[in-house]
Amino acid sequence: MAQPQGLNVPAIITTGLVTVLLTCVIVEGVRALYNYEEPQEEARKWDNATKSTVHRLRDEQEANLKTNTKTPIDTAMASIVTSGGKMPTTKPNG
């Protein structure tokens, strides 16, 4: 007696669905691993970097933020009105 020559459709569909599901799980796992490792790698790079221009500028900016006095909102609004709507310059004099 001869074997019937047909496609096993349920097995093909099941294999396809399992393959798609497994692919999605792997992709999301790799994405999660990347999102976990990337900030740590950035922190390691910054920690191992030598004192460069970027570090110097960052330190200067942090010092400026700590030493600059805050302007009350009334004074800030008045200075913008008197300057004709233009923002005051932040460039140092000289």
**pLDDT, tens digit, 9 for 90 and up, residues 58-88:** 888 888 877 766 778 888 888 888 888 887 6
> Which whole number is the average pLDDT over 8-29?
95
**pLDDT, tens digit, 9 for 90 and up, residues 32-60:** 999 999 999 988 887 776 667 777 888 88
Looking at the predicted structure, is the pLDDT value of residue 11 above 80?
yes
Q: Domain boundaries in the chain?
A: 13-44+57-82
pLDDT of residue 38: 94
Evaluate whether 87 touches 80 at the Cβ level (below 8 Å). Answer: yes
Strands (E), the chain: none
Global pTM? 0.45
The answer for residues whose C-beta is within 8 angstroms of residue 86's C-beta and 6 or more apart is 80
